[in-house]
């Protein structure tokens, strides 16, 4: 019981350092402190320098209240200090320090992100729809971003087939975005998992979506890009996957239509070009078959 209370205090200390300090610690600094096994409550107490301890105590109290409120609302609050924090995230240098979840938290080691353009073609829609159905049949969790176009097509195909899908959001869980998809978001929260690295009340922004793509890359064992144009935001996830040493599967359309697709396909990266959904599903299967379960880097 005492150990559980200490762990909860450490979790609250992390939240306080992130959200309630006048001089907030940087995320790289906190990641390293966690990997080093540093006691975060000590860091919190020392963060105020020559000032009285009361600001640190106040920050910790507010963080504990936040945590209790979020949990009372039915949310999972996952940090690198928690056993249920996704182990695959520890294999990247920029793992998120907090994830808020609604739904069923699972390891999702057998997972593939399906992403692509918001303004998709009929061919892109068919590719995403068939690929998602094939992955469900292979018991692979399908991860996407709940955006218009390819993302929502993949999510809905999985739901229709009775599979598991995870939506990684660029906004807090209190908001349904985009406005056209509240029903799908709600269904994923019931049958799969909604994830966000942003506090529940956070609204979407131009900055939040690229951050979401980086987290989606880290969470997924492989990213499949179905359709994209040169300036598509999907390229952010492609570059993140390369940076995370994650395998990348590109449709022929992506390679033909974008300079970055050509660059990645021609480079010495773990990239597969998949002309058809069947080819993409086979590539994902091969990637998952050769993968090893990630090891936690936290002491």
Domain ranges within the chain, ordered by starting residue: 2-72, 111-290
pTM across the whole model: 0.92
**Beta-bridge mates of residue 195:** 101, 168
d(CA 92, CA 38) in angstroms, rounded, equals 20
Band of residue 146 on the pLDDT scale cut at 50, 70, 90: very high
Res 295: pLDDT: 43
pLDDT in tens, 218-267: 999 999 999 999 988 899 999 999 999 999 999 999 999 999 999 999 98
- For residue 166, the SS3 value is strand
Q: Look at residues 131, 150, 163 and name the one whose alpha carbon lies nearest to residue 278.
A: 131
Radius of gyration of the chain (CA): 20
Kindly indicate the confidence band of residue 4, based on its pLDDT and cuts at 50, 70 and 90.
Answer: confident
Q: Please, which residues have CB within 8 angstroms of residue 267's CB and are 6 or more apart in sequence? A: none
Instruction: Indicate if the pLDDT at residue 46 is higher than 90.
Output: no
With a CB cutoff of 8 Å and minimum separation 6, the contacts of 83 are: none
**What gap in Å lies between CA 97 and CA 30, rounded to an integer?**
8
Span 5-38, pLDDT tens digits: 778 999 999 999 999 987 777 999 999 999 999 9
Give the fold, CATH level 3, of 111-290.
Rossmann fold (3.40.50)
- Residue 128 half-sphere exposure, CB side, CA atoms within 13 Å? 31
In whole angstroms, give the CA distance from residue 206 to residue 252: 28
């Amino acid at each position: 019981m005492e150990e559980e209370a200490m762990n909860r205090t450490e979790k609250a200390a992390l939240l306080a350092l992130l959200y309630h300090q006048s001089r907030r610690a940087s995320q790289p600094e906190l990641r390293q402190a966690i990997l080093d096994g540093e006691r975060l409550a000590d860091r919190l107490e020392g963060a105020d320098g020559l000032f009285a301890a009361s600001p640190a105590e106040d920050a910790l109290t507010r963080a504990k209240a936040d945590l209790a409120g979020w949990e009372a609302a039915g949310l999972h609050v996952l940090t690198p200090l928690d056993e249920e924090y996704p182990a695959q995230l520890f294999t990247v240098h920029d793992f998120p320090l907090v994830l808020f979840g609604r739904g069923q938290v699972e390891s999702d080691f057998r997972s593939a992100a399906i992403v692509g353009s918001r303004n998709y073609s009929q061919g892109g829609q068919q590719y995403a729809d068939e690929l998602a159905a094939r992955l469900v049949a292979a018991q692979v969790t399908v991860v996407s971003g709940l955006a218009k176009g390819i993302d929502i097509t993949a999510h809905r195909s999985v739901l229709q087939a009775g599979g598991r899908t995870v939506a990684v959001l660029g906004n807090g869980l209190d908001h349904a975005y985009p406005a056209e998809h509240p029903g799908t978001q709600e269904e994923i929260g019931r049958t799969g998992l909604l994830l966000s690295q942003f506090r529940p009340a956070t609204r979407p922004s131009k900055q939040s979506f690229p951050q979401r793509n980086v987290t989606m890359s880290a969470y997924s064992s492989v990213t499949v890009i179905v359709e994209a144009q040169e300036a598509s935001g999907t390229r952010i996830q492609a570059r993140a996957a390369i940076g995370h040493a994650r395998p990348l599967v590109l449709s022929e359309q992506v390679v033909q239509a974008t300079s970055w697709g050509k660059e990645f396909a021609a480079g010495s990266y773990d990239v597969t070009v998949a002309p058809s959904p069947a080819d993409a599903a086979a590539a994902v299967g091969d990637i998952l078959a050769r993968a090893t379960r990630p090891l936690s880097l936290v002491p």
